[in-house]
């Protein structure tokens, strides 16, 4: 916790301590008195005897600045304490009690904010007398409304937390809750604001003093010193500079200390955090052959360097995709599905990302493209649709503007052409009254309509591959089917490939030609949809299938779940990442990572690792390059898709029984049902 | 909704005028001392008080004053014998020009700085801009002003240290005389705005719609300025309204420092001469201005974010 404060906090604290000590010890420090005239020659610059020089009357400037700190710091600390004393109880009351108390108190602070505070401070001090006490009281009271607001905000956020709600529900007395739960939790934000408040109070006192309305001469104040020095700054600029610099450093220190304290509790960063160097390093790529396919992903890796370790979000994924086909990527939340799409498209967040592997589009290595060239590929040849249509559209731009933008940027259309094309695109995704929709904002459309708009946007420049990241998860069931049907129809019309990320196996069974099952950033099973769903080998896939509730289940049957929780991607288990949750695991699973094994080979014999399948490559390496699936047939898409693309296909027809179909591969030492079909699981997923 | 807002506005103004009137009148000090001198007899003072109506109960005086306000009569200063409204009308343009110039400078520099920092969050440029902003935020306005005078007026002699040329007399000289005061006043605002914008932009840049804009192959510059800036501007707009209070406090110091004949200077002068009526007039003017600007800010929200228009 102390380390997180950083050097700025300690330097600021040290300076405040120095100024505070100097102010307290001002009378005993070995220097001339602040009001001793002709302690040195008048208007002399800094010297050994007078480190900050002397003023017009030959008084020692250092001594005057040190004595001035008494007023500045005294008012700064005093005003904050007074403001807290008045404002904090009201803030706690408003935040905890809510309702009437809150309304009254907040209306009061609203009115107080409309008051010109400094004008009032000036008037009160001028009329009531410019003494330290009056300045302190005025600044303290004028600061109180701000304290009420801040403390109310902090209280409000604590009062809504579970432990307070629970305590209230259990009938704990308010006083007890306030002292035990609220006050300790509000103290930390209050402390950070207190330092920032001190900076404000020091500046305000300086302003009063500068106008001649703070503690009167001969007592020196920082603002007063600057005002005095102004008259002769042409000849003796040090008179202005010395108090200015001291004041700046003090205010800066209060602000820094306050900001660092706030960083301990606040989520938002202020920008003063220590620099994290972006790592240019990349991960090695396993040797592979670039095939003659539309899209080939080879040994793709994306690791994030986080404080608690390296998060292996995508860890050696290889796959291929042909025109006119749909590849589904399935897995639990956190298995790396979405990150896989972002990695393929090169849309990773800035920061410490380690990347490895290659992405080929018709044999061209996209990972070697400079950003500008990659941007020409994005949107024109590769396009994406995301899960939540609520967040996928810019809320402040009209549908028409958003839809026309890629057309104008990539296809060089004029405004009118782009608008006409945008309307045509909206019509093609089944939006009624496209012309009107173009003039609307996203929040004026329903979720299903919005997702159609994002699909239209993705398709606007005629991409070769559409990446759909859970495109229907946020939609309700009837809309889901419409959207998937739409994607399927457009795939056929435009001869594109679709990479569909989903955790919904019924969607996968209905719409995908091939399936890739991911676990902990790796591919654990892949192959033709029917093969994988009907002759499941990997226990993880089996568990996924069994976790799907079925209409044929007897009533009151317990939902089957996958036991345990998805692994921490920063600290993966050794061996097979699934083994801690796998009912069939044995010691070998905990020590050796199984490679992808062709399902057509005999299942690996139990026993020493050397007895592994000959084609599997080194068992420790989970991504044997030898098992790139052979390129699929280059035949016309009609050979793959049924004649009427909008119709769901029967499962059996999902993959043509052809020798060029993708191979069924799995990563497991103890595959399930080698040869025996788990028909129960698969049947229920056809609709 | 508008009716509710207007009613609220009226209540706030009523409370502000009442409190300011009562507070200022309860403070010790007496304009008769200032007008007649310390040697005046008690009879002469009582006579003057009666003439000025100061012998009436506080509430009655407040009522009369408020009635006058509604008809545009702010009263006549017993010290300068000038109607307060006239004085305000004469000085308001100076202060308004200063405020507008300071805000324009602050926003004009803060938006590019905030965008540049957010785009390279965590890198050297961002760190440098953040540190600079912190430094500006920690420099009191009179320190900034004095240092600027020291540099530009005393050392380099390129800009005047004090004085004011009205816009109607000479545009060039007017701009010269407003430049240093506006920079002085705008410095801290700029730091606040840049910081707010940076924080909100960084949050916006993580939104799905920004990732999808990148996925459509749009350039980073286009995404930043056309897609991310507007959704990130709400806090900035709020701050512009709320900071007005602080800014008006700043004009008091800046106008005194640079010798500008604005409302801020009037406040300081009237306070020193115990001219309550003029101070009250200024307070009312400032409060009305503050409330009206924040009223306008609410309308600007709708322009920035179409989702608010429905509400």
| A575: its two tokens | 């061996």
Residue in B154, B267, B287 closest to A234 by CB: B154
Q: Counting every residue, how long is chain A?
A: 687
- Is position A71 within any domain? yes
Phi then psi for residue A353, to 5 deg, are -115, 130
The pLDDT value recorded for residue A15 is 96
Give me the residue from B27, B209, B286 closest to A392, CB to CB.
B209
* CB contact A206 to B (< 8 Å): yes
CB contact under 8 A, B256 and A211: yes
Q: Which secondary structure element, helix H or strand E, spans residue A382, and what is its range? A: strand A382-385
CA angle A648, A425, B232 (to 5 degrees): 110
The parts of chain B modelled with pLDDT lower than 70 are 1, 28-31, 34, 245, 309-311
How large a percentage of chain A has pLDDT more than 70?
85
CB contact under 8 A, A405 and B206: no
Residues B221 and B274 sit within 8 Å (Cβ to Cβ): no
User: Is residue A677's pLDDT more than 50?
Assistant: no
Mean pLDDT of A596-619: 53
Residue B309's pLDDT is 62
Pairing of strands A382-385, A465-469: parallel
Per mean pLDDT, which range of A266-270, A358-362, A487-491, B275-279 is the poorest?
A: A266-270
Range of the domain at A299: 295-534
* Chain A residues with beta carbon closer than 8 angstroms to that of B287: 114-116
Checking if the pLDDT of A257 tops 70, the result is yes
Domain match, A319 and A391 both: yes
Read off the pLDDT of residues A464-519 as tens digits, 9 standing for 90 and up.
Answer: 999 998 888 777 778 788 888 888 998 998 899 999 998 888 889 999 999 999 99
User: Across the interface, do A383 and B216 touch by the CB < 8 Å criterion?
Assistant: yes
The answer on A327 and A251 residing in a single domain is no
Considering the domain architecture, whether residues A179 and A125 belong to the same structural domain is answered as yes
Residue A239 shares a structural domain with residue A140: yes
Tokens 């540049």 appear where?
Answer: B116
Number of domains into which chain A is organized? 2
Contact between A577 and A668 (Cβ < 8 Å)? no
Q: Which of residues A264 and B166 earns the better pLDDT score?
A: B166
Measured between CA atoms, the residue of chain B closest to residue A387 is: B208
- Are B16 and A115 a contacting pair at CB < 8 A? yes
CATH at residue A464: 3.40.50.300
Per DSSP, the three-state class of A399 is: helix
Query: Closest partner residue to B215 among A270, A278, A384, by Cβ?
Result: A384
pLDDT score at B30: 67
Q: Does B173 touch chain A (CB under 8 A)?
A: no
CA distance A422 to A428: 10
Q: Do B305 and A116 touch (CB under 8 A)?
A: no
Question: Residue A345: CB partners within 8 Å, gap ≥ 6?
Answer: A378, A382, A384, A467, B215
Q: What is the mean pLDDT of chain A?
A: 81
Residues A376 and A485 in one domain: yes
Region at A675 (left for phi over 0; alpha for psi -120 to 50; beta for the rest):
left
Q: Is residue A686 part of a domain?
A: no
Per-residue pLDDT reduced to its tens digit, A98-155: 778 888 888 888 777 777 777 778 888 887 888 889 899 999 998 898 899 888 888 8
Under an 8 A CB cutoff, do B122 and A375 touch?
A: no
Q: Are residues A341 and A216 in the same domain?
A: no
Residue A35 lies in a domain: no
- Asked whether the beta carbons of A349 and B122 are under 8 A apart, the reply is no
In a domain, A407, yes or no: yes
**End of a domain among A503, A534, A565?**
A534
> Is pLDDT above 80 for A276?
no
- Asked if pLDDT for residue A52 goes beyond 70, the answer is yes
Over residues B48-68, the pLDDT tens digits come to: 777 777 778 888 888 888 888
Flag whether residue A473 sits within 8 Å of chain B, measured between CB atoms: no
H helices within A98-169, ranges in order? 99-114, 117-128, 132-159, 162-169
**A116–B290: do the CB atoms touch at under 8 Å?**
yes
A142, A253: one domain: yes
The 3-state DSSP class for residue A625 equals helix
Q: Do A349 and B195 touch (CB under 8 A)?
A: no
Residue A554 lies in a domain: no
Q: What is the pLDDT of residues A55-74, one digit of tens each?
A: 888 899 999 999 999 999 99
Predicted pLDDT of residue B201: 92
Question: Per the domain annotation, does A672 fall within a domain?
Answer: no
Phi, psi dihedral angles at A309 (to 5 degrees): 135, 180
Chain A contact for B29, CB < 8 A? Answer: yes
Q: How far is B213 from chain A (nearest CA, A)?
A: 9
In this complex, is the C-beta atom of A389 within 8 Å of any C-beta atom belonging to chain B? no
Q: What percentage of chain A reaches a pLDDT higher than 90?
A: 30
3-state secondary structure chain B: CHHHHHHHHHHHHHHHHHHHHHHHHHCCCCHHHHHHCCCCCHHHHHHHHHHHCCCCCHHHHHHHHHHHHHCCCCCECCCCCCEHHHHHHHHHHHHHHHHHHHHHHHHHHHHHHHHHHHHCCCCHHHHHHHHHHHHHHCCCHHHHHHHHHHHHHHHCCCCCCCCCCCCCCCHHHHHHHHHHHHHHHHHHHHHHHHHHHHHHHHHHCCCHHHHHHHHCCCCHHHHHHHHHCHHHCHHHHHHHHHCHHHHHHHHHHHHHHHCCCCHHHHHHHHHHCCCHHHHHHHHHHHHHHHHHHHHHHHHHHHHHCHHHHHC
Identify whether residues A299 and A261 lie together within a single domain: no
Q: Contacts from A27-35 at CB under 8 Å and sequence distance 24+?
A: A29/A66, A31/A60, A31/A62, A31/A63, A31/A66, A32/A59, A32/A60, A32/A63, A33/A63, A34/A59, A34/A60, A34/A63, A34/A64, A34/A66, A34/A67, A34/A218, A34/A220, A35/A59, A35/A218
* Low-confidence winner among A12-21, A358-367, A384-393, B43-52 (lowest mean pLDDT): B43-52
A528 touches chain B (CB under 8 A): no
Instruction: Tell whether A333 and A456 lie within a shared domain.
Output: yes
Average confidence (pLDDT) over A169-194: 83
Token representation of residue B240:
């512009």
Task: Give the count of Cβ contacts less than 8 A between chain A and B.
Answer: 230
Q: Are residues A248 and A327 in the same domain?
A: no
Q: At residue A637, does pLDDT exceed 80? A: no
CATH number at residue A105: 1.10.3720.10
- What A563-566 contacts at long range (C-beta under 8 Å, 24+ apart), as own/partner pairs, is A566/A332, A566/A333, A566/A334, A566/A335, A566/A520
- Do A240 and A320 fall into the same domain? no
Residue A542 in any domain: the answer is: no
Radius of gyration of chain B (CA): 24
pLDDT bracket for residue A292 (50, 70, 90): confident
Tell which wins on pLDDT, A295 or B44: A295
Q: How far is CA A548 from CA A654, A681, B59, in A?
A: 20, 9, 77
* Last residue of one domain, picked from the residues A501, A534, A567: A534
- Looking up tokens 């035990």 gives A180
| Separation of alpha carbons B306 and B288, rounded Å | 28
Segment B92-97 long-range contacts (CB within 8 Å, at least 24 positions apart): B92/B262, B92/B263, B92/B285, B93/B166, B93/B167, B94/B164, B94/B166, B94/B255, B94/B260, B94/B261, B94/B262, B94/B263, B95/B251, B95/B255, B95/B260, B95/B262, B95/B263, B95/B264, B97/B167, B97/B174, B97/B178
Please give the pLDDT value at position A176. 81
Same domain assignment for residues A89 and A197: yes
- b/e map of A48-66 (b: 16 or more CB within 10 Å)? eebebbbbeebbbbbbbbb
Enter the ipTM.
0.89
Alpha-carbon torsion (B239, B242, B246, B251), positive or negative: positive
Residues of A in contact with B147 (CB under 8 A): 240, 244
> Each residue of A455-466: pLDDT tens digit?
899 988 889 999
pLDDT at A336: 84
Two structure tokens written together for A113: 């904010």
Give the bridge partners for A517, in sequence order. Answer: A330, A525
Chain B partners within 8 Å of A252 (Cβ): 134-135, 138
Within 258-297 of A, beta carbons closer than 8 Å to B belong to: 259, 268-273, 275-276, 278
Has residue A641 been placed in a domain? Answer: no
Choosing from A265, A282, A307, the residue where a domain stops is A265
Number of C-beta neighbours around residue A674 at 10 A: 14
CB contact under 8 A, B140 and A203: yes
């Amino acid at each position: 916790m102390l380390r997180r404060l950083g050097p700025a906090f300690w330097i600021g604290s040290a300076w405040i301590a120095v100024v505070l000590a100097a102010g307290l010890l001002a009378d005993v420090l070995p220097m001339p008195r602040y009001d001793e005239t002709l302690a040195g020659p008048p208007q002399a610059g800094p010297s050994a005897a007078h480190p900050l020089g002397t003023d017009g009357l030959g008084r020692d400037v250092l001594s005057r600045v040190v004595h001035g700190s008494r007023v500045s710091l005294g008012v700064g600390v005093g005003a904050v304490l007074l403001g807290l004393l008045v404002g904090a109880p009201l803030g706690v009351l408003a935040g905890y009690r809510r309702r009437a108390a809150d309304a009254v108190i907040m209306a009061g602070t609203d009115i107080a904010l409309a008051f010109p505070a400094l004008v009032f401070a000036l008037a009160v001090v001028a009329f009531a007398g410019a003494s330290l006490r009056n300045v302190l009281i005025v600044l303290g009271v004028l600061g109180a409304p701000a304290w009420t607001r801040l403390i109310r905000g902090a209280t409000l956020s604590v009062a809504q937390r579970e432990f307070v709600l629970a305590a209230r529900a259990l009938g704990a007395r308010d006083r007890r809750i306030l002292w035990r739960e609220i006050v300790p939790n509000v103290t930390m934000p209050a402390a950070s604001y207190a330092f920032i408040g001190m900076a404000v109070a020091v500046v305000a006192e300086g302003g009063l003093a500068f106008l001649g309305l703070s503690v009167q001469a001969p007592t020196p104040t920082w603002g007063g010193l600057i005002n005095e020095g102004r008259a002769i700054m042409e000849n003796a600029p040090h008179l202005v500079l010395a108090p200015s610099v001291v004041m700046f450093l003090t205010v800066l220190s209060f602000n820094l200390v306050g900001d660092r304290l706030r960083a301990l509790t606040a989520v938002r960063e202020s920008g003063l955090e220590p620099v994290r160097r972006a790592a240019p390093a990349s991960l090695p790529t396993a040797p592979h052959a670039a095939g003659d396919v539309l899209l080939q992903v080879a040994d793709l890796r994306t690791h994030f360097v986080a404080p608690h370790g390296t998060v292996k979000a995508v860890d050696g994924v290889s796959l291929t995709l042909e025109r006119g086909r749909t590849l589904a990527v399935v897995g639990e939340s956190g298995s790396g599905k979405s990150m896989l799409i972002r990695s393929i498209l090169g849309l990773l967040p800035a920061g410490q990302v380690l990347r490895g592997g290659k992405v080929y589009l018709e044999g061209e290595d996209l990972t070697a493209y400079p950003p500008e060239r990659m941007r020409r590929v994005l949107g024109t040849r590769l396009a994406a649709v995301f899960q939540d249509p609520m967040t996928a559209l810019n809320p402040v731009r009209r549908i028409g503007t958003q839809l026309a933008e890629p057309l104008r940027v990539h296809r060089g259309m004029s405004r009118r052409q782009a608008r006409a094309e945008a309307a045509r695109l909206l019509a093609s995704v089944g939006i009624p009254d496209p012309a009107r929709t173009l003039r609307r904002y996203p929040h004026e459309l329903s979720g299903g309509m919005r997702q159609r708009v994002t699909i239209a946007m993705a398709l606007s420049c005629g991409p070769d591959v559409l990446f759909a990241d859970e495109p229907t998860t946020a939609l309700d069931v009837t809309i889901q089917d419409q959207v998937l049907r739409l994607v399927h129809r457009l795939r056929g019309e435009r001869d594109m490939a679709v990479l569909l990320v989903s955790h919904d196996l019924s969607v996968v069974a209905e719409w995908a030609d091939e399936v890739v099952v991911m676990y902990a950033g790796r591919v654990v099973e892949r192959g033709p949809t029917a093969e994988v769903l009907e002759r499941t080998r990997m226990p993880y896939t089996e568990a996924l299938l069994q976790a799907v509730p079925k209409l044929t289940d007897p009533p009151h049957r317990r939902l089957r779940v996958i036991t345990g929780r998805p692994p921490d991607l920063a600290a993966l288990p050794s061996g097979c990442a699934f083994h801690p949750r796998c009912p069939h695991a044995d010691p070998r699973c905990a020590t050796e990572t199984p490679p992808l094994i062709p399902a057509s080979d005999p299942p690996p014999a139990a026993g020493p690792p050397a007895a592994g399948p000959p084609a599997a490559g080194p068992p420790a390496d989970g991504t044997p390059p030898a098992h790139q699936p052979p390129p699929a047939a280059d035949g016309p898409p009609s050979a793959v898709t049924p004649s009427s693309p909008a119709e769901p296909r029967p499962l059996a027809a999902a993959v043509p029984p052809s020798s060029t179909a993708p191979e069924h591969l799995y990563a497991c030492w103890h595959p399930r049902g080698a040869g025996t079909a788990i028909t129960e699981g698969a049947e229920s997923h056809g609709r | 909704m508008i009716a509710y807002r207007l009613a609220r506005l009226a209540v706030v103004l009523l409370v502000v005028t009442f409190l300011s009137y009562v507070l200022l009148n309860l403070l010790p000090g007496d304009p008769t001392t200032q007008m007649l001198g310390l040697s005046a007899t008690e009879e002469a003072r009582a006579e003057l008080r009666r003439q000025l109506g100061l012998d009436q109960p506080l509430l009655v005086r407040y009522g009369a004053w408020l009635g006058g306000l509604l008809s545009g009569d702010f009263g006549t200063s017993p010290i300068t014998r000038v109607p307060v409204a006239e004085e305000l009308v004469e000085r308001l343009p100076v202060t308004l020009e200063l405020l507008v110039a300071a805000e324009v400078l602050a926003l004009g520099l803060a938006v590019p700085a905030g965008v540049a920092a957010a785009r390279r969050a965590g890198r050297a440029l961002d760190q440098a801009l953040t540190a600079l902003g912190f430094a500006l935020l920690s420099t009191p306005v009179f320190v900034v002003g004095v240092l600027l005078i020291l540099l530009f007026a005393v050392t380099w002699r390129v800009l005047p240290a004090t004085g004011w040329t009205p816009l109607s007399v000479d545009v060039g000289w007017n701009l010269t005389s407003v430049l240093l005061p506006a920079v002085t006043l705008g410095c801290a605002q700029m730091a606040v705005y840049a910081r707010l914008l940076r924080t909100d932009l960084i949050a916006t840049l993580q939104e799905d719609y920004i990732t999808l804009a990148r996925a459509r192959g749009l350039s980073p510059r286009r995404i930043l300025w056309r897609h991310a800036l507007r959704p990130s501007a709400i806090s900035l707009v709020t701050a512009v309204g709320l900071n007005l209070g602080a800014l008006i406090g700043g004009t008091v110091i800046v106008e005194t420092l640079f010798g500008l004949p604005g409302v801020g200077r009037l406040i300081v002068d009237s306070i020193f001469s115990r001219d309550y009526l003029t101070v009250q007039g200024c307070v009312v003017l400032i409060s009305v201005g503050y409330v009206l600007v924040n009223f306008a800010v609410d309308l600007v929200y709708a322009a920035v974010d179409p989702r608010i228009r429905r509400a």
